[in-house]
Structure 1
Amino acid sequence: MTGFGLGLRGIASAALALYAAGSTTAAYAASAAQPGQTIGLPVGAQLPVGLYFVNLSSFGTRSTRPGDTSTNVNLPTFAWSTPWDIAGGRLQFFVTQPVVAATLQGAPYQSGIGQPLLAAQLAWDLGHDVGVSYFFGGYLPIETRFLTQSASLTHRFAASYTGQDWNLTANLLHGIFLETRSPFGALYPDYLNLDLTAAKKFGKWQVGAVAFGSSDLPTGVSSYRPQGQIAVGGLVGYNFGPVNLQAYLTRDVVQRNYRGRETRGWLRVIVPLYQDKDEVEPNRTLVTRRQAE
């Protein structure tokens, strides 16, 4: 399952851009995709045919001066795994509408609607519990001023191994902005994110290690200070039958131009609204098509 996430990487940095745009300092910006948003999901594998609701909620605090910068990101998503194949890959669609709240260095919280994501994906079952996928979509423009505003394209390449109750997944996310500047002067760099998962199921439980990294791509603007981070953490999940829950905690071990390291807690709920009974046994929450057999 890929693309459930839509996020706003460096939401606090976008808020910083509003302050910087009216000053002599270089403007900070934020990308459209939140690093870590696909952790825990076998994003290279096919979904069983059906309709799903997924929400990923996260709260993070970054140590900055004079006060901490905190963000809450909620990513409600509808995912439709169709019965149709194109070039041997299962066709899947995703729609996400985020809701975000943020405080910059202890200032009052601001909240607003983030950029909607519309996307499609092809996922191929290569056999031997290996799957790969290609995801392509777009973030629509918005006018919420403390968030990323410009429209952008995203494409993602994922590979998953799901045999023997493992989820070994790598997902590379590449974002391309259609406009390089916001109306307030913030620079929007293209970006690369990499989400990594190594988790194993033990009955209804799932535990594992996770990591993600992100980096702005070159902008050609000498005054811009590119942002990047590497974070690691742990994941635990539980299958309640019709509903799956996952929680993970991450901490930056390396950061560049974020003014501090972030600790973030994440909670994901996966609710199958409809599943094809020919592909999924009763009381089996979606994981992958093969694991549901």
Structure 2
Amino acid sequence: MLKKLAAVRAAALSVAALSMGALCAATLSLTASPASAGSVTQPGETVGLATGAPLPQGVYFVDTFNWGVRKGDNGAADVTLGVNIPVLAWATPTKIAGARLQLLAALPALEVGVQNADHENGMYNPFLASQLAWDLGDGFGVSYLLGVYFPVGNKLGFDSTNINQRLAVSYTNDGWNLTANGIYGISTRDVSKTINPDFVNLDLTATKTLGNWTVGPVGFASWDVTSPTATYEKQSQLALGGLVGYNFSQLTLQGYLTRTVTEENYGGTDTRAWGRLILPF
């Protein structure tokens, strides 16, 4: 059962689709300035999940949601961001080169507000992906995901297509979930209404399941790796936190809290509360 739950958690990790870059884009849109943004995939959205482990065959619903405040530096306005990422994942019976083929779809939504300004809410970029996940034995698993974020024409999303690749490694024996998930996003347009750099995210998990409870530290980091314009300032950040989860038989709930340890060009430190439910059909 522990291995199954660890694998089920991979559904959310593989498909969650939103970013602090969206917060920056929305912030600048609300303040009537040219929009710029970092990662299209939200840094930290896949922590707490064994993304390297293949799912048992079946269909899963996973909802990851979070809300937080980025405190502005040097008198800058505080910015709030709320995100909801509903996901459907199908672990198909198909095997390719020994790996399970998994199909994933997400339709995220967000709400963003700037201190002393209006709030905006709406849909974010839809996400479709396919994933190959290998069970290497002795609790080790590895997966590769290839996905696409599709453009949207509102203030809160990106108006360009983003190619998303993810490589995850997990160890899930004896109730452990030790996972590193690397995410690489490639923008297909250098200049658009929202400026999209290529980016790298790294989501990290080190949790232990004891009975129905799961606890442990989590963390994430992100880096812009290109500058789409001459004046663009690359963003980077590191955040750490802790996770608590509980398994109600068919339903798994998780909650975690993260806070920025260090950042560059994000304009302030972010404190964020996350929640997740995992329901296999």
The answer to whether TM tops 0.5 is yes
Q: Does the CA contact (< 8 Å) of 1:11 and 1:71 recur in 2? A: no
- 5 Å-filtered alignment, 1:1-293, equals 1=10, 2-18=13-29, 22=33, 27-64=35-72, 65-182=75-192, 184=193, 186-219=194-227, 221-273=229-281
CA distance, structure 1, for counterparts of residue 204 and residue 278 of structure 2: 19
- SS of equivalent to 2:241: strand
Aligned residue identity for 2:238: I
Change (3 A) 1:8 1:260: same
- 2:217/2:243 contact within 8 Å kept: yes
Deviations 1:38-93 (A, max 9, x none): 10110000101110000001001000144310000000000000111001100001
CA distances 1:110-168 after superposition (whole Å, capped 9, x unpaired): 00101110000000011111000000010011011232221110000000000110000
What is the rounded CA distance, in whole Å, between the counterparts of 2:174 and 2:30 in structure 1? 51
Task: Name the CA shift for 1:86/1:228 in 2 (closer, same or farther; >3 Å).
Answer: same
2-structure distance, mates of 1:20, 1:224: 18
Query: For 1:190-212, what per-residue CA distance to the aligned partner results, in whole angstroms no more than 9, with x for missing partners?
Result: 00000000000000000000000
Supply the AA of the counterpart residue of 2:219.
A
SS at match of 1:3: helix
**Which sections of structure 2, spanning at least 5 residues, go unmatched?**
1-9
Instruction: Kindly indicate whether the alpha-carbon contact (under 8 Å) linking 1:155 and 1:173 is maintained by their aligned counterparts in 2.
Output: yes
Find the residue that maps to 2:157 and give its secondary structure.
Answer: coil
Identify which range, 87-96 or 13-22, moves more after superposition. Answer: 13-22
Task: Indicate the SS of the match to 2:112.
Answer: strand
Q: Which has the higher helix share?
A: 2
**What TM-score, normalized by structure 2, do the two folds share?**
0.91
Change beyond 3 A, Cα 1:220–1:269: closer
C-alpha deviation, 1:94, in angstroms? 0.5
- Aligned AA (1:169): T
Query: Which stretches in structure 1 are left out of the alignment for 5+ residues?
Result: 274-293
Displacement after TM superposition at 1:229 (Å) = 0.6
Rounded Cα–Cα distance in structure 2 between residues aligned with 1:217 and 1:167: 29
Partners of 1:105 and 1:19 lie apart in 2 by 11
Mapped contact 1:16–1:28 kept (Cα < 8 A):
no
Query: Which of the two has higher C-alpha Rg?
Result: 1
| Paired residue type of 1:272 | P
Counterpart of 1:284?
none
Work out whether residues 21 and 40 of structure 2, in 8 Å CA contact, stay in contact via their aligned partners in 1: no
The alpha carbon displacement at 1:220 in A equals: 6.0
SS at 1:261 equivalent: strand
C-alpha offsets along residues 243-292 of structure 1, whole Å, 9 cap, x if unaligned? Answer: 0000000000001111100000000000111xxxxxxxxxxxxxxxxxxx
For 1:219, the aligned partner's letter is S
Once residues 190 and 169 of structure 1 are traced to their aligned partners in structure 2, the CA distance between those partners, rounded to angstroms, is 23
Q: TM (normalized to structure 1)?
A: 0.88
- Conservation of the 8 A alpha-carbon contact between 1:8 and 1:147: no
